[in-house]
Structure 1
Amino acid sequence: MLAMLAVLWLSRIGLALWQSPRIAEVQAWGLVLRQGLRFDGVLLGLLWTLPAAITPWMALHPDSARAWGRFLWAYGLLALLLLAFMELSTPAFIAQYDSRPNYLFVEYLGYAKEVGGTLVKDYWAHLLAALVLLPALALGYGRLSRPDPTPALLPLWQAVPLSVLLLSLAIAGRGSLGHRPANPASAALTADHLVNELPLNSLYTLMYAIYQARKSEAGITYAEMPRAQVLDTVRRETGLPADVFADDGRPTRHHRASLHPRTRPLNLVIVLEESLGAEFVGRMGGLPLTPNLDRLADEGIWFERLYATGTRSVRGIEAVVAGFPPTSAVSTVKLAKSQRDFFTLASFLKPHGYESTFYYGGESHFDNMRSYFMGNGFDRVVEQKDMPRDAFIGTWGASDGDLFDVAHRAFEAQPADKPFFALVFTSSNHAPFEFPEAPFTLHEQPRATVNNAVKYADHALGHFFEQARRSRYWDNTLFLVVADHNSRVYGPSLVPIERFHIPGLILGGPVKQPQRITTVASQIDLAPTLVSLMGLSGERPWIGRDLSDPAQQQRPGRAIMQFDKTQAYMEGNDVAVLQPDTSARTMRYEQGQLRDNPVGNPALIEKAQAHARFAQWAYQEGWHR
C-alpha cells in the first residue's frame, strides 16, 4: 500500500506540475492535494479491504498463513504493476484526449493492428519508459517486500473481531460518510474538467468508466423527467407542427415533404473526413491547411457554426448517417439493439430505389462498422482488401487519394437510371499521420504531423472534386463534406466547445446558388437537410432540423455535444451543461470561452435534460426504426 501511494503521488505531482497553469487559473492546488488523498484512499480501500478482512482467518493455521502470505505478496505485485502501468499511460492519454484514461482506454484494445501501429510510431518513448520502469518497480518491490516464512498466528476469538473490524474499513472504499459513495463528481469543483480529474487516479477512473458503461447501454441518466414532458419538448424543438407525430409506438416518426421537389432523384455522396476540426480550416479562422475546401466553400451551402456530437468516429457516424443524438454510452454503432433495423439514410433511401455503399480505406470490422452498416440498409462495403495492389497502405489503411479513386471509378460505372448513396470515410488524417508523396507543399517538418496530414487530406479531396466535376454523375449528385469529429478535443472547460466546431459543406451540380448557413447546427441536422435537398419525401424518426428551410434558419439553432460523461446543449450562445451526480448548470459561450451564466436558464436545462433522456429511451425502446 505504501508503494502504491508513492507511485500515485509521484505521478500526481508530475501531472500537476505539467498542468500547473491550468491549476493556477482556477486556484485548485488545494483541491488537487486534498481530494488526491481522498481518492487514493478510495482506491486502496477497493483493492485491499477484502484481502485484509480475510487475513485473520488465514492466520488460524500455519499452512494457510504461509500460503496466504505468498498470495498477498503476488496480489500486491500485480496490483502495483497495474496501477503503475495506468499512471505511466496517463500523460499520453491526456495529450490525446485531455482527460485521465476512461472507457476509450479499453474500447480500443480490440484493434491491435491500428492501435498497436499508432503506439509504436507515435508513442515509442512512452512504451520504452514502461518497459524500463515497470520491471524496475517489480524488482524493488520484490526486494523490499517478502512473505514472512514464520507468520504470526491468531486464536479464533481474536480473528473474528479483527476480521469484522477490517471489513468495516470498506467505508474507505466509499470515500464518504454519506449515503452515497464518493465518485468523480465529488472532485468536480472547477470549470476545468482536466483539473477536476487530477485528484483522481487513472486505475480508478478506468474502473469507474467500465462500471458506468456496463450499468446501462443507454448511458448516464442526468435527470428523470415524465415521458410526456420529454416527448413534448423534443417534438417541439424539431420545429414541426405537433399533428405530424401520429405514431404512438414510435413517437418522433413523422412524414415530411421535401421543400425542393425534383423530377429525378439525386445521388448522394457523403465524404466523412477524419478528425478535421475548425482549427485546421483556413475559412474558419484556422491554419491555412485546406485551400481546396476553402475554395469549394464558395460554391455550395456552407455551415458556419456546425458542431460534432462527440469525439469519436462512431459518434459522428451515428449522427450524420442515422441522425441519432448522442448519449454518454457507447455509440449505437457498437450496441446490440441497433445492429438491425436502426433508421439510417440508407434505410430511408432503399424504398426510393437507391443502392448504398460504404467506402473505407481500412478494415471495416473496426468499431463494428461493417455489421452496423450491413444491418441497417447498406448493400455493400468496399474496404482495404478491395484497394488496388499499388495503393499506399498505412497503419489505418489506404490513403485518401487511393480511396477517392476507387470510389470515383465506382460512381462512373453506376447505371444512369439507378440512384446511389455512398459514404466515403477517409483516414489519412489519423495518427500516426502516414500519407503518400503528392504534389503539394508540406506545412512543416517533420513530415508525419497532423498539419501535414490535413494538408494531404485536403489535396486528395480537391483532386476528387476535380474528377467529379468532369464526370457524368456530377450534375445529378449531391455531395456533403463533413468531419466526423476534431483531431484532439481538449481545453480548460467542462466542455471544450471550440473543439467540437467542424466544417460542413453541401455542393454538387444541383446546387446552383451558394449559401452560408449561420445558425448553430448539429450533425443530426444534416440527414433531414440532405433528403429535403434531394427532393425526397417520406416518413422518418429524425429529430434534426431541415436547415434548407428558411424558417429553421431564422431560429437560434442548437447543438448537442457529448464529452465523456458530460453533455452540453447549446442554443445560440447559451449552454446547459449536464454532469452525472450533480446539478445542471447554465453557461455562455462567447469568443471561444465557456463561462458560468449567473442569470440561469431553466427552460434551456429542461431542453437539455429532455433530449438526453429521449436518446436513452429511443435506443432502449426501439423508437429509432
Structure 2
Amino acid sequence: MKINLKNSLTVLLLRLFVVYAVFMLCRLAFYFFNNNLIDDVHAGDIISLLRGSLMFDTVSIIYINLLFALMSLIPFKFRDNSGYKKAMLWIFMITNGLGLLINVADIFYYPFKQARIVLGDFFLLQEDAFVPLLGDFVIDYWYGFLFYFILLVLLYIGYKAVGDKKEPVQTNRRYYVVNTAYMSIMAIIIIFFVRGATFSAASFPISMNDAFLYTDNPTHTSFMLSNPFCLIRTIGKSKDVPDLKYFDTKIAQNLAGTTHTYEAAEPSGFEIDRKTNVFIIVLESFGKAHIKSLSDQFPKERESNTPFLDSLFNEGYLFTNAHQNGYRSIDALPAIWASIPSFKEHFLSLPNSVASYYALPACMNEMGYQTAFFHGAVKESMGFVSFGRNAGIKNFYSREEYEEENGDEDFDGKWGIWDHKFFPFVHKKINAFSKDKPFFTTLFTLSSHHPYKVPPGLPKKFSEGTMPIHRAIKYSDYALGEFFKSIEKEPWYKNTLFIITADHSSGADSYKFNKAPHDYTIPMFFFKPGNNKFKGKDDKIIQHIDVMPTLLGMLKYDKPYFAFGKDHFNKKDSNGHFAINFSNGAFNCSTDSYYYLFNEKDVISKIDYRMDPLGNTNLIAKRNQQDEEAIKGFKAFIQEYYAHLNARDYLPRTTKPKTALAVNAGRK
C-alpha cells in the first residue's frame, strides 16, 4: 500500500518515523544479544527506559537527517524534479544506513567494552591489525550483517511507501510562504529535541550523561543510548582525554592515590557526629573578587556587594585561599560531590563521565542521611540532576516542582525561579523531611547569572556596582540573608553544618583577580551555628575536590572511598597539598607558597603569588628541592586523573563491585 501525500512536512515526518522503527529493532536486538550484561529491567523501569530510548533515538535521527530534512523542505520548486528526488533517496539511505551500521556493529562489539562506541574507539583504524580483525568480525558475526541488510531493505521499503505527489500549482508567493513555514516548524522541532525536549535557556544540547535522567543504573543507560548519538556527541572529545604519563604507574599511584581510608589521627577539633545535618550551598558566580571581606582589592569606602556573607563569615570557619576546579557551573557538582575536577573539557560533557560512582551522596545515604538537591532551573539544566542521580542523590527539587505548587509567575524569563522566591520553597521542603532523620542537602543558587537581572519590585534596593554582575550578587546575598533569618529558629538549624562556596569566579574589576591563580579563587566557609570550634580563618590552600574527603573525615567515615582531593583537616593527608585547574592551554598548580604554570611538558613559571600577585617575577630559575617535590605531586595527579578518565574508573581500589556480567552469570 502506498500513502500519497502532498504536504512535504508530513512526508518528511513519516519517513523519519520509518527510521524510528528500524532503530527500535536495533535496540531490541541489542538487548537480546547483551541481556546478560544488562541488569534486569523491572516493570517500573519500562516507561522511563522507553522515554529515554525515544529521546536519544530522536536526537540521533535529527543529527543524521539534517541534510535530508533541508532537502525535503527547502522552498524551491526544483524539489519536484525526478533527479532531485533520486538524490534525496540516496542521501536518506546513505546517512541512515551509516547510522544503522554503527548501531548494529555495537550489538556485537558491546561485550568487549561494555560501553557504547564513541569516536575515540576508532583509534583501532590506525592499527595494522585492524583489517584482519575486521575480517574475523565479519566471519564471526555474519548474522549481524544479514540483520543489517534486512534493516536496509525495510528502510528502503518504508521510504518508498511514503510517496509524495507533485504539489499543486500555487502562486509563487503562496508556495514560498507555505514552504518557509514548514522549514521554520521543523527548525523549532529540531532545536526543541536537541536541547533535551525543552526551550529553557539553562539547558544544553543533551549529552551521554543525560541518560541518568531516566535511570540510575549504568547498564540501563547503555541500553537507552543510541550509537549515532554517542558518536556524534563525542566528535572533538576524544582528544580531550590524553594518556599523559610522567612516571611508572605504581609511582604515580603512590604519589597521587585516589583511594582514601579514614585513619585514627590526632583530633582536629572539627569532628561531627552522624546526627548532624549537612547543608552545602553553592553560590552562582560568587567569585572571591566580589566579596569585600575576602578581597584585598576592594576599596574600603565602597559599598559591600555581600553584607550578609561578610557578617556571617565572622561566625564560622573561613578558608581564605579556596579554589574552584573548573570554569563553569557544570563543573562544580562533580568536584564537590565526587571529588572529580574538570580541566580541558567539562567532565560531564565527556563520554568518560558515564560510569559507576560511589560519591559523597552515596556515602551519606549509607550513613543514614536523606539526600536532596535544590536548584531553581529545569531538571535538564547543566546535567545536575542526571549526575546527581548517578552520584546517589535521592530527592530533587527543581523549577518543575516549584511551579507545581506555586505556578509559573516567579520564572525569571531566562534561567529559572528567582532566588528570593525559591529559597522559602527550600525552607518548606527541609522542614518537611528534617523530622525523620538527618539530611544531606545541596542548594545551588541561580539568580546571580548573566544577564544579571533583579526581580521586578526590588531594583531600587540594590545599587549598581563597578561591574554588571555586582547588582545581581547584591540581590542574591540579600535573598540568602532572608533565607537564614527564616531558618534560624527552626529546630534543625543549630544541628546543621553549613558549607558555603561558589561554583566559579566571574571576572573582576582588579588586575589581581584577573590573573592566575587568583582568577580561580572562591569563598569556602564552614558554619556550625553556636559552635565556637568552627570559628577562625584558614589560609592553607583548599579546593572543591577537597570538600568530599574533608567532610567524610569529619564524619569519621570508615570505609574506602574514591577522591582526587584530600582531607584538609588530616595533617597526614594535607602534606604536599595543592590546588589545580586548567586555563589558556596549561595547568595552573598552586601550593600554599607558589603558583606553577605547567604546559604538560615543562613547568614554565614559578610565581610567589602572595608577594607578587600580578606575576611580574618568574622564579623558575630558582627551583629547589621543595619545588621538585611539588611538581612531582601535580604531575602524578594529572597522570592519575587521565588514567582514571580513560578507564572510567571512579571507585576505590579495594571495592570490587559485581559487574552486570557477574551478576547475571550468577543468576544463570
Per the normalisation by structure 2, the TM-score is 0.56
Q: SS of the residue aligned with 2:308?
A: helix
Counterpart CA distance in 2 for 1:489 and 1:372 is: 30
Deviations, residues 401-435 of structure 1 (Å, cap 9, x unaligned):
22221111111111434121111111111100123
Counterpart CA distance in 1 for 2:393 and 2:353 is: 14
Q: Give the Å deviation of 1:274.
A: 0.8
Q: Give the Å deviation of 1:523.
A: 1.3
Report the counterpart of residue 537 of structure 2 in structure 1.
516
Deviations, residues 288-314 of structure 1 (Å, cap 9, x unaligned):
201111111111110010011121112
Counterpart CA distance in 1 for 2:349 and 2:472 is: 28
Q: Give the Å deviation of 1:528.
A: 1.9
Report the counterpart of residue 577 of structure 1 in structure 2.
597
Q: Give the Å deviation of 1:213.
A: 4.3
Which residue of 638, 656, 665 maps to 1:612?
Answer: 638
Q: SS of the residue aligned with 2:462?
A: coil
Report the counterpart of residue 442 of structure 2 in structure 1.
423
- Residues 430 and 252 (structure 1 numbering): CA distance in 2 closer, same or farther, change over 3 Å? same
Q: Give the Å deviation of 1:489.
A: 7.9
Report the counterpart of residue 326 of structure 1 in structure 2.
342
- Residues 570 and 402 (structure 1 numbering): CA distance in 2 closer, same or farther, change over 3 Å? same
Deviations, residues 493-519 of structure 1 (Å, cap 9, x unaligned):
996211111111111337433121111
Which residue of 243, 247, 265 maps to 1:225?
Answer: 247
Give the alignment of 1:179-578 within 5 angstroms.
213-216=236-239, 219-221=241-243, 223-235=245-257, 252-256=259-263, 259=267, 264-285=274-295, 287=298, 288-331=304-347, 333-387=348-402, 388-389=406-407, 390-436=409-455, 437-438=457-458, 441-444=461-464, 449-488=468-507, 496-509=516-529, 511-513=531-533, 514-534=535-555, 536-549=557-570, 557-563=577-583, 565-578=585-598
- Residues 372 and 257 (structure 1 numbering): CA distance in 2 closer, same or farther, change over 3 Å? farther
CA root-mean-square deviation = 3.3
Report the counterpart of residue 86 of structure 1 in structure 2.
none
- Residues 291 and 495 (structure 1 numbering): CA distance in 2 closer, same or farther, change over 3 Å? closer
- Matched letter for residue 519 of structure 1: K
- Residues 605 and 110 (structure 1 numbering): CA distance in 2 closer, same or farther, change over 3 Å? farther
Counterpart CA distance in 2 for 1:429 and 1:263 is: 34
Counterpart CA distance in 2 for 1:336 and 1:214 is: 8
- Residues 269 and 340 (structure 1 numbering): CA distance in 2 closer, same or farther, change over 3 Å? farther
- Residues 492 and 303 (structure 1 numbering): CA distance in 2 closer, same or farther, change over 3 Å? closer
Deviations, residues 321-370 of structure 1 (Å, cap 9, x unaligned):
11123332331x33334344323210111111222111111112122222
Q: SS of the residue aligned with 1:532?
A: helix
Q: SS of the residue aligned with 1:503?
A: strand
- Matched letter for residue 538 of structure 1: K
Q: Percent identity?
A: 20
Counterpart CA distance in 2 for 1:471 and 1:579 is: 51
Q: Give the Å deviation of 1:542.
A: 1.9
Counterpart CA distance in 1 for 2:271 and 2:291 is: 33
Counterpart CA distance in 1 for 2:630 and 2:569 is: 25
Q: SS of the residue aligned with 1:459?
A: helix
Counterpart CA distance in 1 for 2:529 and 2:435 is: 15
Moved more, 612-621 or 423-432: 612-621
Contact 1:300 1:505 in 2 (8 A): yes
Contact 1:557 1:571 in 2 (8 A): yes
Counterpart CA distance in 2 for 1:545 and 1:417 is: 32
Deviations, residues 522-543 of structure 1 (Å, cap 9, x unaligned):
1111222223334544321224
- Residues 211 and 407 (structure 1 numbering): CA distance in 2 closer, same or farther, change over 3 Å? closer
Q: Give the Å deviation of 1:375.
A: 1.7
- Matched letter for residue 356 of structure 2: D
Contact 2:362 2:393 in 1 (8 A): yes
Q: SS of the residue aligned with 1:519?
A: coil
Q: SS of the residue aligned with 1:375?
A: helix
- Matched letter for residue 321 of structure 1: W
Counterpart CA distance in 2 for 1:338 and 1:363 is: 21
Report the counterpart of residue 58 of structure 1 in structure 2.
none
- Residues 440 and 549 (structure 1 numbering): CA distance in 2 closer, same or farther, change over 3 Å? farther
- Residues 609 and 489 (structure 1 numbering): CA distance in 2 closer, same or farther, change over 3 Å? farther
Counterpart CA distance in 2 for 1:562 and 1:480 is: 25
- Residues 469 and 335 (structure 1 numbering): CA distance in 2 closer, same or farther, change over 3 Å? same
Q: SS of the residue aligned with 1:321?
A: helix
Q: Give the Å deviation of 1:224.
A: 3.6
Give the alignment of 1:82-101 within 5 angstroms.
none
- Matched letter for residue 365 of structure 2: K
What is the number of residues matched between the two proteins?
407
Contact 1:392 1:399 in 2 (8 A): yes
Q: Give the Å deviation of 1:280.
A: 0.5
- Residues 234 and 116 (structure 1 numbering): CA distance in 2 closer, same or farther, change over 3 Å? closer
Q: Give the Å deviation of 1:391.
A: 2.5
- Residues 622 and 214 (structure 1 numbering): CA distance in 2 closer, same or farther, change over 3 Å? closer
Q: SS of the residue aligned with 1:613?
A: helix
- Residues 233 and 115 (structure 1 numbering): CA distance in 2 closer, same or farther, change over 3 Å? same
Deviations, residues 366-389 of structure 1 (Å, cap 9, x unaligned):
222221111220112211112222
Q: SS of the residue aligned with 1:282?
A: coil
- Residues 611 and 409 (structure 1 numbering): CA distance in 2 closer, same or farther, change over 3 Å? same
- Residues 359 and 256 (structure 1 numbering): CA distance in 2 closer, same or farther, change over 3 Å? farther
